[in-house]
Amino acid sequence: MDRREAEDINAEFIAMISILGAVYGRELDELVFIGYWRSLSDQPLEALSLAVDEALRTEKYMPAPATLLKICKELRRERSRLYIAPRDAAHTEAGDERFREMLRAARDKITKKTRRK
């Protein structure tokens, strides 16, 4: 993995956790991000993204890293039993570009916040 790929993964991870913080009304500092990273960095981003989506639909409070890890494991078990069709290409391409824009904006916002402190 080159530096650019690592930066992209970091940005996506930060964006996912930032989304959780925004939805659940939590201010997130650098230590919170480090805690989530240490707990979840071994999970594939796709699995983590699905876990975040599931948590947003089902959790009343912001999920702890252990909750997201549990959801990741449950989703992996379900996927191994069921075939889950991938999203259609048109939806994915249009959504991916918009998602990347949102990730960049979230990353920039977090970066600016952490630099001020």
What tens digit of pLDDT does each residue of 14-53 get? 999 999 999 999 999 999 999 999 999 889 888 999 999 9
Q: What residues make up the domain containing 59?
A: 3-116
Nearest by Cα to 110 from 55, 33, 45: 33
Cα within 13 Å of Cα(3), Cβ side: 0
43-84 tens-digit pLDDT: 988 899 999 999 999 999 999 999 999 999 998 888 766 554
CB 12 within 8 A of CB 104: no
Query: How many domains are contained in the chain?
Result: 1
Global pTM reads 0.67
